[in-house]
Amino acid sequence: MAKFIQSLANGLNLGSIYALTALGYTMVYGIIRMINFAHGDFIMVGGFTLFYMIPVMTKIGLPAWFSVFAAIIVCVFVGVATEQIAYKPVRGQGSTTALITALGMSLVLENGALVLFGSAPRNVPPMFDLPLLKFGEITIPPQTVLTLAIGIVAMILLTLFVRYTKLGKAMRAVPEDKIASTLVGINVNRIITITFAIGSGLAAVASMMYTTSYVSIKNELGITLGLKAFVAAVLGGIGSVPGAMAGGLLLGIIEIMVKVYMLPGTYEAVTYLILILVLLIRPSGLMGKAVSEKV
Amino acid sequence: MKKKGTKRLVMLSALTMSVMALSCSAAADDDYAGTIYLAGIAPLTGSYASWGEGAVNAYNLAIQEVNAAGGVTIDGESYKLESAVFADDKSDATEAVSAYNNCASYDISALIGSCASSCTLSFVEAAQEAGILVVTPYSTNATICKTGDYIFRECFSDADQGPTLAKLATEEFSAKNIAVVAAEDSDYCAGLAEAMEAALDDISDVTYEHYGCVTTDTDYTAQISKAIEQGADVIIYPNNYDTVPNFVRQARDAGFEGPILGGDAWDGTDVTGYESKFDNCYYLAHVDLSADTEAVQSYVSAYRDAYGEDGLNAVSSLYYDTVKMLVQAMEEANSYDPAVLKDTLLSMEYESMGGTISYDENGDAQKPFTIETFEDGALTYYGSF
């Protein structure tokens, strides 16, 4: 029993990272119907910003986690630049072109980071000095609680923002009908840029929580994390903000449980099997709306 | 018009100068009786590019040093040592094949490479058939040198490393109950774990449990909680250095205080920020680069002068030693023909930075094991086997 509860806690920790990452995927997909495969690499960019900023913050006497603000600025810059340079020119050329451009951007960022930072894995110094939470035999990593809390707060804020603000309404209008949105005075390009800014800012927050849990970063960090978060977003229903949260947590728990009780070396087969099954049986995911694509 | 004339003059003089420079280097080459070509393979990009960075630097450093000391002496005549090509395998078995094909297209005396066992395994059969002498500096997978008589290595084999790791656990740390966490998608990790577990099977009153993982994993909490449940007194983690900080940190956070042991791929582990977690961690190494010996010190200072701190690790020292060992073999054999060199290597001894190397009939290097540990995060010599 202790093992089960411990695994549940471990699964929540992993899942909350997936959830934070999946929020970024779902945000961008929800607004512009594009899967931004470079999202995982934005997290890598955030990770390296933290790596370089934490010593600076400590030196000038600020708490180490303040460096997340630097990471947000850098990630938003990289995200918006990616959108402007790579995605905007191919917008309107179909989803396949957008998808391939996103994959290409992902490679550009990974290899750019290789040139800039080298390939040696680096440890991001600890940002929070939190004690381990112990309940009898069970140890809960403190960052689990923090990541979960940040994820839930982000989820609530995003939902409120999209539902109730004027900008949020415009964001919901754009995927419905781009031309009609323009007609009612929505600047579609600006909305898309803002969406990317929010998605990339979320990536910076995710990078803070990722590096708190998993200390070592390198230029390829985004590949696996991005794929898993994509599975999580699809599982939860891509485009749905609460769905990303639920899908992330669920995927984390499933992965850890499969590792503990079934196949530790081949658990990823199960992860990707879930992706295939969801796409086959319920493509709209757990919480997504089942809407047929307009032709 | 006048302006154009000046431009022409500048171009002409530049041309003359470059011709002069060319003829100068040609004159220098005339001092040699000929040129001996080597080729190298290492991951210069990809997940393990930090191995390749040091490898290519050390390889070039060794070649420069050989030439600065008058080249390779064969039958009393001096030959220039040159690198035909240094190819990138990206730590990927498919890329390694094209890297090999690139190297094999030159007339080389020996091919030095590669790092990841999966990569080296992908081309050794082709090399054996083509009669190309391969010396791998860092691939320890036990099957590599059994491919044929043209295949050698500078590092120890997992057939030796596995039992040594088992011995370290059971003799040095008196382990009775061991947990093994090894990546199943890597020839190196899986092979080393297998060799070690085979050795543990032969030791009485020791039990062990094997837990798999993948090389791209970052979360090991599942395996660690099972190891703790099993009551393990030692955990053996024979995986690559990039995953070690995550593993060690998670094991310590989960309350595991016992020794954590690793293989030679721990070399290059970053401990920054988590120094205290690395207390009571040990791994088998090819060389101790903090050793006070003449060979190590002169290598470390020469490398630092030329390339700085980046890539200065055990892998680089192995590439350096491989070049130097091949040169010694050529001079002892008075030949740079691979067919001759392969026999010379079997009978010679070479003083590497990590100790004396000799070869068994397979071409597997017999050399001492160094045990490294961490003190306040600093890599420290612990002992040797």
DSSP labels, B326-359? HHHHHHHHT---HHHHHHHHHH--EEETTEEEEE
> Where do runs of H (alpha helix) occur along chain A?
2-32, 39-59, 67-82, 88-90, 95-117, 142-164, 166-176, 178-183, 188-213, 221-236, 241-261, 267-281
Q: With beta carbons under 8 A apart, name residues in chain B contacting A124.
A: 273
Q: What's the pTM value of the predicted model, to 2 decimals?
A: 0.85
pLDDT at B26: 42
Residue at A261 is within a domain: no
**How far lies B3's CA from each of B7, B9, B11, B41, B362, in Å?**
6, 10, 13, 50, 70
Contact assessment for residue B189 and residue B247, using Cβ atoms and an 8 Å cutoff:
no
pLDDT at B30: 62
> What pLDDT, in 10s, does the model give residues A224-246?
999 999 999 999 988 888 899 99
Amino acid identity, residue A249?
L
With tokens 């900023």, the residue in question is A53
d(CA A150, CA A156): 10
Name the closest residue on chain B to residue A139, using Cα atoms: B254
- Tally of CB atoms within 10 A around A185: 7
Does B222 touch chain A if contact means CB atoms closer than 8 Å? yes
Beta bridge partners of B366: B358
Residue at A280 is within a domain: no
Give the closest-approach CA distance of A62 to chain B in angstroms. Answer: 18
Q: Which structure tokens are listed for B302? A: 């020469």
Q: Which one-letter DSSP state was computed for residue A84?
A: I
Walk me through the domains of chain B, giving residue ranges and CATH numbers: 31-156+292-367 (3.40.50.2300), 159-285 (3.40.50.2300)
Give the closest-approach CA distance of B124 to chain A in angstroms. Answer: 26
> What pLDDT, in 10s, does the model give residues B138-197?
998 889 998 889 999 999 889 899 999 999 999 989 999 999 999 988 888 999 999 999
d(CA B118, CA A129): 40
Q: With beta carbons under 8 A apart, name residues in chain B contacting A215.
A: 245-246, 249, 273-274
d(CA B375, CA B265): 19
Residue at A185 is within a domain: yes
Taking the mean position of all CA atoms in its chain, how far away is CA B133? 17
Residue at A6 is within a domain: no
pLDDT at B41: 95
ipTM score: 0.88
Q: Which structure tokens are listed for B146? A: 């059994």
With tokens 């774990």, the residue in question is B193
Give the closest-approach CA distance of A21 to chain B in angstroms. Answer: 15
d(CA A28, CA A192): 8
Radius of gyration of chain A (CA): 19
d(CA A196, CA B363): 57
Average pLDDT across chain A, whole number:
89
Does A133 touch chain B if contact means CB atoms closer than 8 Å? no
Does B210 touch chain A if contact means CB atoms closer than 8 Å? no
Task: Please identify every stretch of chain B with a pLDDT value under 50, giving residue numbers as ranges.
Answer: 1-2, 17-27
Does A6 touch chain B if contact means CB atoms closer than 8 Å? yes
Residue A288 clears pLDDT 70, i.e. is over it: yes
With tokens 């470079």, the residue in question is A38
Q: With beta carbons under 8 A apart, name residues in chain B contacting A14.
A: 219, 221
d(CA A283, CA A290): 8
Give the closest-approach CA distance of A125 to chain B in angstroms. Answer: 5
With tokens 């837990």, the residue in question is B211
Interface of B with A in 259-278 (CB under 8 A): 268, 270-274
The H or E element that residue A135 is part of is strand A133-135
**How far lies B332's CA from each of B8, B103, B349, B353, in Å?**
54, 25, 11, 20
Domain count, chain A: 1
d(CA B61, CA B154): 17
Contact assessment for residue B89 and residue B39, using Cβ atoms and an 8 Å cutoff:
no
Q: With beta carbons under 8 A apart, name residues in chain A contacting B42.
A: none
Residue at A19 is within a domain: yes
Whole domain around residue A127: which residue ranges? 15-221
pLDDT at A197: 93
Name the closest residue on chain A to residue B228, using Cα atoms: A3
Residue at A26 is within a domain: yes
pLDDT at B19: 47
Give the closest-approach CA distance of B246 to chain A in angstroms. Answer: 6
Residue at A184 is within a domain: yes
Does A214 touch chain B if contact means CB atoms closer than 8 Å? yes
**pLDDT level of residue A291 (50, 70, 90 thresholds):** low
**pLDDT level of residue A295 (50, 70, 90 thresholds):** very low
Residue A161 clears pLDDT 50, i.e. is over it: yes
Does A175 touch chain B if contact means CB atoms closer than 8 Å? no
Residue at A1 is within a domain: no
d(CA A61, CA B132): 60
Name the closest residue on chain B to residue A15, using Cα atoms: B219
Taking the mean position of all CA atoms in its chain, how far away is CA A149? 15
d(CA A158, CA B380): 50
Residue A125 clears pLDDT 90, i.e. is over it: no
